[in-house]
Amino acid sequence: MQDSLARTFALDGRVAVVTGAASGLGRETALVLSEAGATPVLCDVNTAGLEETAELVASAGAQAIVCPTDVSQRAQVEAAGERAAAINGKVDIWVNVAGIIVNRSVIDAQEDEVERMLSINLKGVYWGCSAAGRLMRAGGGGSIINFSSSGADNPVPDLSLYSMTKASVNMLTRTVAKEMGPYGIRANAVAPGWVETPMGTHRWRNESGAIDPALREEGLRQRESASPLGIVGTPRDIALAVLYLASDASRFVTGQVLRPNGGVSMP
């Protein structure tokens, strides 16, 4: 590959806030962005998981900042942004990955479940966009990437809460792209198809939390056959989509929903 093309994807010297960085897709995103040269600021409520992610980044020869953060708390999100901005004077990339899932029918959902979903999956992303926007406007631009889901396009029984927050994230992303574009800020969403992470495996776990191997095998086969490519994705497939949106390779791309999903869903 020519150096000029590699430089287009390089993130050397850039600071990237990554929420949900203690696990799954957030962890992989932090690793890929750091491999591309960025310094990831790792935010999550799971501090032990953050430390593990930081060790993985360090063992790949880079450095990460551990920043315990509850994204549902605006003040904590603002503080994480300030901490990130203190590294180089600005924040270049902000990836809102943190999210939860609740399986509940509309008939049975409890008030606290509705509140929790909205607080983390929707308000958490909203506070992230708000903090990122202010810091990036001051710094002359940046890239915001919000995690959506295939669930935003496809109604699935018992996933109304999850899907409605993700559909809202798509609209929030488009609005942010219009509001902040004049400041040189791009905003895009990544809507992954299913990949195997602690969240992705929630339907295969027994009451003690262990994965049932038979359910896993059957689930993987179903996922493979749902894709025209006949494959299931990996966390890295999703993180590479984030890398594209974070890098200068996507300088003309804003307000879009990128769907790395193996072709399972084509809305």
Residues pairing with 112 in the sheet:
none
Are 25 and 238 in contact, with CB atoms under 8 Å apart?
yes
Neighbours of 183 (CB within 10 A): 15
The CA distance from 87 to 93, in Å, is 13
Task: Give how many residues touch ligand NAD by CB under 6 A.
Answer: 30
The CA distance from 15 to 236, in Å, is 20
162 is catalytic: yes
Are 220 and 7 in contact, with CB atoms under 8 Å apart?
no
Binding characters for ligand NAD, 143-182, by CB under 6 A (x = yes):
----x-x---------------------------------
Cβ-based neighbours of 208, under 8 Å, separated by 6 or more: none
3-state DSSP assignment of residue 10:
coil
Question: Toward ligand NAD, which CB reaches closer, 177 or 239?
Answer: 239
Shortest distance, CB of residue 192 to ligand NAD, whole angstroms?
A: 4
The stretch among 82-90, 95-103, 133-141, 174-182 that binds ligand NAD (CB under 6 A) is: 95-103
Site for ligand NAD in 6-25 (CB under 6 A): 19-20, 22-25
Question: Toward ligand NAD, which CB reaches closer, 39 or 149?
Answer: 149
Question: Toward ligand NAD, which CB reaches closer, 23 or 254?
Answer: 23
Shortest distance, CB of residue 122 to ligand NAD, whole angstroms?
A: 11
The CA distance from 170 to 71, in Å, is 18
Q: Is 46 in the site for ligand NAD (CB under 6 A)?
A: yes
Question: Toward ligand NAD, which CB reaches closer, 39 or 69?
Answer: 69
Binding characters for ligand NAD, 63-92, by CB under 6 A (x = yes):
------xxxx--------------------
Taking CB under 6 A as the criterion, the residue among 197, 247, 250, 254 binding ligand NAD is: 197
- The DSSP secondary structure of 40-100, one letter per residue, reads EEEEES-HHHHHHHHHHHHHTT---EEEE--TT-HHHHHHHHHHHHHHHSS--EEEE----
Q: Is 219 in the site for ligand NAD (CB under 6 A)?
A: no
Nearest 5°: the CA angle 225, 227, 228 is 105
Query: Applying CB under 6 A, which residues contact ligand NAD?
Result: 19-20, 22-26, 44-46, 49, 69-72, 97-100, 120, 124, 147, 149, 192, 194-195, 197-200
Residues annotated as part of the active site: 162
